[in-house]
Amino acid sequence: MNVRSQIAMVFHLDKCIGCHTCSIACKNIWTDRKGAEYMWWNNVETKPGTGYPTKWENQEIYKGGWEKNGDTVSLKGTGKFKGLKNIFHNPYMPVLDDYYEPWTYKYQDLFTAPEGDDQPTARPVSLVTGETIEVKSGPNWDDDMGGSPDFARQDVNLEKLSPAEREAMFQLERMTFHYLPRICNHCLNPACVASCPSGALYKRGEDGVVLINQERCRAWRMCVTACPYKKSYYNWHTGKSEKCVLCYPRLESGQAPACFHSCVGRIRYLGVLLYDADKIERIASATDENLVEAQLEIYLDPFDPEVIKQAALNGIAMSTIEAAQKSPVYKFLKVWKLALPLHPEFRTLPNLFYVPALLPGMANVQNGIYNTTSKSLWHGIDATRLPIKYLASLFSAGNTDKIVEVLKRLMAVRMHRRGETVGDLSKEEISAAMHEINLNGKTADEIFRLTSLATFDERFVIPPAHREESIEMLENTADVKGNTGFGFKERPARGL
Amino acid sequence: MFMKGKSIIKTISIFSLFVATIQLPLAAQNGEATFKQSCGVCHSIGKGKLVGPDLKDVNKRRSEEWILKFVKGSQAFIKSGDADAKAIFDEYGGMVMPDQNLSDDAIKSVIAYVAEQSGGAVSASVAEATPSQTETKDTANLADLILKGRLYFEGNTAFKNGGASCISCHNVNYKDMIAGGVLAKDLTNCYARLGGDAGISGLLSSPPFPAMTQAFKNNPLTQDEIKALSAFLQDVDNPQAPQTAGMNPLLIGGLIGFMILFGLILLVWNKRKIRSVKSDYHGRQIKTIN
């Protein structure tokens, strides 16, 4: 057993309102620079939709992620030979149009325009060329376009559906959408790290954050192709690639990353998971239908004395192990089994998990009356507006059982709380639902609490970074004692 | 006083005459050395045109000031708008005379030498001016010589003293020979331009062009090598020689290889991402600005 610690995340999609506050918080802190304007380290997509960059999920276009290769995995687009073959011209890279051409407006024209018959307008100008442009698309151009032919119907996940299922999905009564906020998954088996010819990418030992060393990056851009989530971006101004850093300077000082901190719907949870690094290769090469189950297996029980002992042997601080025991991510993922990874079939073992949205059941309106197709509003699992197959394509590599299980759990918690607070559901109905998935009232209450009422400290359990100790590895802090602190910029008139 | 003054003038004039008689041969002597070193390669005195014009009686045709200007910087002089200088430059096919780094005195001494020679060398036979015509060449040996020259030119045979092969800077259009350098003048027609064997061998034994002077300063060509090169250049200049530039196997091979390469690129990378994934709907968007 080779125990390591990893900062992992859960996004509760039922709570996401698609406000993009997370994206703006991230943009203001990290990517509001020349060459980085088009990057959205955090973005919010509408599903069904094509996403950002457009159709990023289609690895036949972008060749990202890993492929199962017997008992191991190999990179789909790059790697030793394929990478060498394409090292000077990588043919699968997204172009700027696949993202969008960033722009601003000539706001000054509003003030300086000469008097005329028409209102002055602020024309859009490209942030790349500085020229006036025709805005063709933006990073969330498919926002709320849940039934549109150009976006929703081009969703890559629809390929798993039969034409009839696809058509049914876009009937007026069934049309629906939900949001999917995305950041870097800080994967356990990161394809970007594996693809880099310069060795510029690395996974931090202490918390598993995947970073690009800006000194070593030589702009091969293999990581841009290799990352199946397209979360590594090339900065055309600096000639280096950049990606989400999980706000590690904030993490080190005990603050949640900016997108987590600013989340209006409080959908985000962050905590430590302990995992067994020896199992990565075996689990990454599991068969598609077992991928989700296998990935859960790699995360270890932080209460197990053997795990604690091995973790301590690997140099994991006791404070980190304690944080892992309090981790909300561990609860959602392992204890309650409510969270699922996004596109596990990319085989990168992502560390960002999603609680799928419990979408409304099918219904139609007749004579102004809302009729559900199921017996009651609470039995809509089998008739969700989005086909289970569609959700399975997103979160479980096609394993529909997993999706049904999670949705049933979510529904059981709701029924339980409805029974507690409103009391209009029969006891038999609730206990049947709870019994089906082995959920007791106490656990359901805990799920409810962490979902709806959790405080900052419950949602973000950040292990101490022990910076006071780490600096002692580099220098003797006693040497500079008295050299910093309170002083004078100018010599005072009296004194000294 | 008057007498005294007259005698002083007499003394001075006698003295100056004396100095002049001493000085003239001295200047002419220096002039001879300078002429041989710097001018003789391209110019003759009364023996006809070589690379440049025959300098016989040049002191009578041109003023001293004109000659000084031309020798020191012919191009600048031509650009300054002198019609005579331009006429000469055009007459010799735009062949640039290298600027000579000589003092005014040295040039004057050369003029003096030319003046002296112009008087005495009238009898020099005109026939001597084109020795290549009188020279008979063994045709069997000639083919060998041309081949040898070609090998020297292309650098397949190294020059004995280690000089750079001609092709590194010069080009000639000759049969299937690959194209040479473009750093210096094209030599295809140089044999006629430079006045045959005499011009070529004179030029090669002490090259007057600054770059060539530097290149062959420490590793001059031998007489054998010059002879071979001269024969080769004559053959190059021969308009009867079959010009096979159109059938150059290198060019055709290159073209075929190029097409095969591009075909392969199309095949190997036929699944590459060519267009933006958004081009479908970008194309349908209505433009609001022209």
Do A10 and A329 meet the contact criterion of CB atoms below 8 Å apart?
yes
CA distance B281 to chain A (A): 7
Residue B147 clears pLDDT 50, i.e. is over it: yes
The CA–CA distances, whole Å, from A424 to A360, A429, A443, B84 equal 19, 11, 21, 117
User: Would residue A121 count as lying in a domain?
Assistant: no
User: Would residue B82 count as lying in a domain?
Assistant: yes
Separation CA A21–CA A28 (nearest Å): 11
> For strand A66-69 and strand A201-203, is the pairing parallel, antiparallel, or unpaired?
unpaired
% residues pLDDT > 90 (chain A): 75
Residue B175's domain spans which residues?
134-237
Please give the average per-residue pLDDT across A403-424, as a whole number.
Answer: 91
Residue B50 clears pLDDT 80, i.e. is over it: no
- Helix (H) or strand (E) holding A271, with range, is strand A268-276
Separation CA A145–CA A155 (nearest Å): 11
- A97 vs B287: CB contact, 8 Å cut-off? no
User: Would residue A483 count as lying in a domain?
Assistant: no
User: Would residue B260 count as lying in a domain?
Assistant: no
- Half-sphere CA count of A3, side-chain side, radius 13 A: 23
User: Would residue A492 count as lying in a domain?
Assistant: no
Q: What one-character DSSP code corresponds to residue B240?
A: T
Among A248, A241, A204, A236, which Cα is nearest to A220's? A241
For residue B277, what is the nearest residue in chain A, using CA coordinates? A98
Q: What are B266's two structure tokens?
A: 């199309």
Q: Is residue A367 packed enough to be buried (19+ CB in 10 Å), middle (13-18) or exposed (0-12)?
A: exposed
Q: What are A75's two structure tokens?
A: 């990179």
User: Would residue A165 count as lying in a domain?
Assistant: yes
User: Would residue A92 count as lying in a domain?
Assistant: yes
Amino acid in position B177: M
Amino acid in position B71: V
Q: Which of A169-178, A224-233, A287-296, B130-139 has the lowest mean pLDDT?
A: B130-139
User: Would residue B99 count as lying in a domain?
Assistant: yes
Chain B neighbors of A62, CB-CB under 8 A? 273
pLDDT band with cut points at 50, 70 and 90 for residue A381: confident
CB atoms within 10 A of CB A323: 20
Give residue for tokens 């071979």: B228
Residue A363's domain spans which residues?
1-100+137-465
pLDDT band with cut points at 50, 70 and 90 for residue A204: very high
Last residue of a domain, one of B129, B145, B173: B129
Q: Is residue A310 packed enough to be buried (19+ CB in 10 Å), middle (13-18) or exposed (0-12)?
A: middle
Do A2 and A280 meet the contact criterion of CB atoms below 8 Å apart?
no
The CA–CA distances, whole Å, from B26 to A145, B23, B56, B59, B110 equal 103, 5, 20, 18, 11
Amino acid in position B12: I
Q: What one-character DSSP code corresponds to residue A44?
A: E
Could you list the beta-strand ranges (E) of A201-250.
201-203, 210-212, 232-235, 240-243
Last residue of a domain, one of B96, B129, B162: B129
Nearest to B277 among A98, A134, A136 (CB): A98
- A93 vs B273: CB contact, 8 Å cut-off? yes
Q: H helices of B102-138, where?
A: 104-120, 131-134
Same structural domain, B159 and B114: no
Separation CA A31–CA A255 (nearest Å): 19
CATH code at position A63:
3.30.70.20
Amino acid in position A381: I
Please give the average per-residue pLDDT across A130-134, as a whole number.
Answer: 92
Query: pLDDT tens, A9-21?
Result: 999 999 999 999 9
3-state class percentages of chain A: helix first, strand second, coil last, to nearest 5: 40, 15, 45
Query: pLDDT tens, A440-492?
Result: 999 999 999 999 999 999 999 999 988 888 888 888 888 878 777 777 778 88
pLDDT band with cut points at 50, 70 and 90 for residue B126: very low
CATH code at position B185:
1.10.760.10
Same structural domain, B107 and B204: no
User: Would residue A113 count as lying in a domain?
Assistant: no
* A92 inside 8 A of chain B by CB: yes
What's residue B130's pLDDT?
Answer: 45
Please give the average per-residue pLDDT across A403-426, as a whole number.
Answer: 91
Query: pLDDT tens, A178-195?
Result: 999 999 999 999 999 999
Query: pLDDT tens, A303-338?
Result: 999 999 999 999 999 999 999 999 999 999 999 999
Domain count, chain B: 2
Selected residue with higher pLDDT from A320 and B5: A320
Do A160 and A389 meet the contact criterion of CB atoms below 8 Å apart?
yes
Chain A neighbors of B278, CB-CB under 8 A? 54, 97-98, 136-137
The CA–CA distances, whole Å, from A243 to A9, A20, A35, A336, B274 equal 17, 18, 13, 31, 25
* A138 inside 8 A of chain B by CB: no
- B269 vs A91: CB contact, 8 Å cut-off? yes
Q: What one-character DSSP code corresponds to residue B103?
A: -
What's residue B109's pLDDT?
Answer: 86
Chain B neighbors of A53, CB-CB under 8 A? 277
Separation CA A323–CA A5 (nearest Å): 10
Last residue of a domain, one of B102, B129, B156: B129
User: Would residue A63 count as lying in a domain?
Assistant: yes
What's residue B192's pLDDT?
Answer: 82
Output phi, psi for A210, to 5 deg: -95, 125
- Helix (H) or strand (E) holding B256, with range, is helix B249-268
pLDDT band with cut points at 50, 70 and 90 for residue A74: very high
Please give the average per-residue pLDDT across B170-189, as a whole number.
Answer: 85
Cα(first)–Cα(last) distance of chain B, in Å? 102
Separation CA A146–CA A158 (nearest Å): 13
Amino acid in position A445: D
Q: H helices of A159-231, where?
A: 163-169, 191-195, 222-226
In total, chain B counts a number of residues equal to 290
- Helix (H) or strand (E) holding A249, with range, is helix A248-252
Q: Angle A400-421/A427-436 helices, nearest 10 degrees?
A: 150
- A61 vs B282: CB contact, 8 Å cut-off? no
Amino acid in position A259: C
A136, A142, A230, best to mutate vs chain B, most B CBs in 10 Å: A136
Residue B19 clears pLDDT 70, i.e. is over it: no
Domain count, chain A: 1
Its ipTM equals: 0.71
Among A339, A206, A189, which Cα is nearest to A272's? A206
What's residue A26's pLDDT?
Answer: 96
User: Would residue B110 count as lying in a domain?
Assistant: yes
Among A452, A371, A449, A444, which Cα is nearest to A413's? A444
What's residue B134's pLDDT?
Answer: 43
DSSP A452-465: II--HHHHB-PPP-
- Helix (H) or strand (E) holding A312, with range, is helix A305-313
Among A56, A298, A12, which Cα is nearest to B278's? A56
Q: In chain A, count H helices and then E strands.
A: 21, 17
Cα(first)–Cα(last) distance of chain A, in Å? 61
User: Would residue B107 count as lying in a domain?
Assistant: yes
Separation CA A288–CA A220 (nearest Å): 31
